[in-house]
Amino acid sequence: MAEEIYSPGLEGVIAGETAISTVTGGLSYRGYSIEDLARNGTFEEVAYLLLYCDLPNAQQLDQLRKRLSDAAQVPQPILNAVRDIPRGSSAMDILRSASSMLAHWDPDVNDNSREANLRKSERLLAQLPVVMAARYRLANGKEPVMPKTGRSLAENCLYMLFESDPTPGHIKAMDVSLILYAEHEFNASTFAARVIVSTLSDLHSGIAGAIGALKGPLHGGANEKVTDVLRSVGKKENAEKWVRGALARKEKIMGFGHRVYKDGDPRAVYLKELCGQLAKETGHEDLEGMAAVIERIVWEEKKLPPNLDWPSARLYEYLGLPVELYTPLFVLSRVSGWGAHVIEQLDNNRLIRPRARYTGPQRREWKPLAQR
Ligand code: ACO
């Protein structure tokens, strides 16, 4: 028996190898810093980089855009189901169910080869935004709007939700947020996807499981909870008292802290800049001012820096997006990272099956029913 190593929550444990991204020395995807990618790239280039291991040339990018455009079709029975799922179901639950249902119509469903998994990842990247936007519109009494060909995923997302053409500034902000959410090493949802496919299950199952993991407020669900913080604080003058009170009651402030980044999340640092610019353009400087006070007090009290969800909740508010779609937008982007991890896991698979430290009773004798 190997030496017993135990770390609650697997904190600090190296649970596998990856060539997709690293948080060491700042976050980078396949060797490119996220600052570089966010400043110069588009989400489609980043998705290609994650899935195909290198940046696309112009022809490869054009072909990817065309494939995504062709794949942005959701079978009618799924759109019907999306219409019929009871009101009040969360958009994350809809995406989780949709990713599972889409498998039934996927021509590669039973093919676990690298090529098939690339095709399936691309299809989900194209289909899930259509599902998200359709459900949002149906829930608000409007008919779904389909994506337009030749537009980026960021532009189409905004277009399908609001049925109007977004400004270049809004498209850029959405695109950057998708780039920053695309990939993050062995986080809980990615690890869940890898565990699932390590049994030689399929990509759609891995992604459905990953969406379930991402939903929780300690992971992706935090970006929606950040809005509760901002709304409860209300105005800059209340911020200090509110934060000190919440921390004194040992409450967690959503959007702060990170399992890996103890000195600061580089994605949050980058997005804060863009958030400031968009706040000016959209007249939300007050909210930026209030957020800055909250950040300062959380730092003074707990030495906790903000994570990506802290600025992204404000960015989405400035884009006019509904809160219930903040975490689903994270899904639309992270499908690229999850797809890359599923492929990497299967390229060199070993069943992920750790051990548990037993804390139950010692061996006991069976008692017949009459004696219990
Ligand atoms: N607010 C207040 N205190 C906090 C926070 C927070 N957001 N985060 C951590 N702490 C405190 C803990 O209470 C603990 O304090 P103590 O030592 O006095 O008991 C200490 O900091 C260490 O915290 P842990 O929870 O042990 O740290 P862990 O690495 O497990 O947690 C996590 C990381 C789950 C992200 C945590 O910081 C948290 O719950 N944050 C809020 C949720 C959030 O924003 N999640 C988004 C993650 S990033 C992403 O998904 C893009």
**pLDDT digits over 121-138, tens only?**
999 999 999 999 999 999
pLDDT above 70 (res 343): yes
Residues contacting 270, CB < 8 A, separation 6+: 34, 35, 38, 176, 180
Express as a percent the part of the chain with pLDDT over 70. 99
Nearest ligand 1 atom to the CA of 307 is 48
User: Token pair for residue 359?
Assistant: 């804390």
Given this model, what pLDDT does residue 2 score? 62
pLDDT above 80 (res 41): yes
Q: Is the residue at 360 inside a domain?
A: no
Pocket test for ligand 1, best of 252, 254, 295 (most atoms within 8 A of CB): 252
Same domain? 52 vs 103: yes
Unique residue bearing structure tokens 């270049």: 168
pLDDT (average), residues 343-354: 97
Residue-wise burial string across 140-174, b where 16 or more C-beta atoms lie within 10 A, e elsewhere: eeeebbebeeebbbbbbbbbbbbeeebeeebbbbb
Nearest Cα to 48, choosing from 29, 34, 71, 33? 29
Residues with CB under 6 A from ligand 1: 9, 218-220, 222, 252-259, 302, 304, 307-309
Given this model, what pLDDT does residue 52 score? 98
SS3 content of the chain, % helix, strand, coil (to 5): 60, 0, 35
Backbone angles phi, psi at 220, to 5 degrees: -65, -30
Bridge partner list, 256: 306
Nearest CA, atom 12, ligand 1: 252
What separation in Å is there between the alpha carbon of 239 and the centre of ligand 1? 20
Residues identified as active-site:
258, 309
Nearest ligand 1 atom to the CA of 330 is 51
Pocket test for ligand 1, best of 256, 261, 270, 309 (most atoms within 8 A of CB): 256
Q: Is the residue at 183 inside a domain?
A: yes
Nearest Cα to 33, choosing from 42, 22, 45? 22
Residues contacting 234, CB < 8 A, separation 6+: none
Unique residue bearing structure tokens 């492929």: 343
pLDDT above 60 (res 335): yes
Q: Is the residue at 9 inside a domain?
A: no
* Mean pLDDT score of the chain: 95
pLDDT (average), residues 229-240: 95
Same domain? 152 vs 285: no
Q: Please answer whether residues 308 and 184 qualify as being in contact, where contact means their C-beta atoms are separated by less than 8 angstroms.
A: no
Residues contacting 260, CB < 8 A, separation 6+: 23, 185
Please, which pLDDT band fits residue 1 given cuts at 50, 70 and 90? low
- Pairwise pLDDT comparison (218 vs 18), residue with the higher score: 18
Given this model, what pLDDT does residue 84 score? 96
Q: Cα separation of 217 and 99, whole Å?
A: 21
What separation in Å is there between the alpha carbon of 258 and the centre of ligand 1? 6
Nearest CA, atom 24, ligand 1: 259
Nearest CA, atom 41, ligand 1: 254
Same domain? 211 vs 233: no
Same domain? 155 vs 248: no
Given this model, what pLDDT does residue 286 score? 95
Q: Which domain holds residue 244?
A: 222-318
Same domain? 203 vs 118: yes
Question: Domain containing 111 — which CATH number?
Answer: 1.10.580.10
Domains contained in the chain, number: 2
pLDDT above 80 (res 272): yes
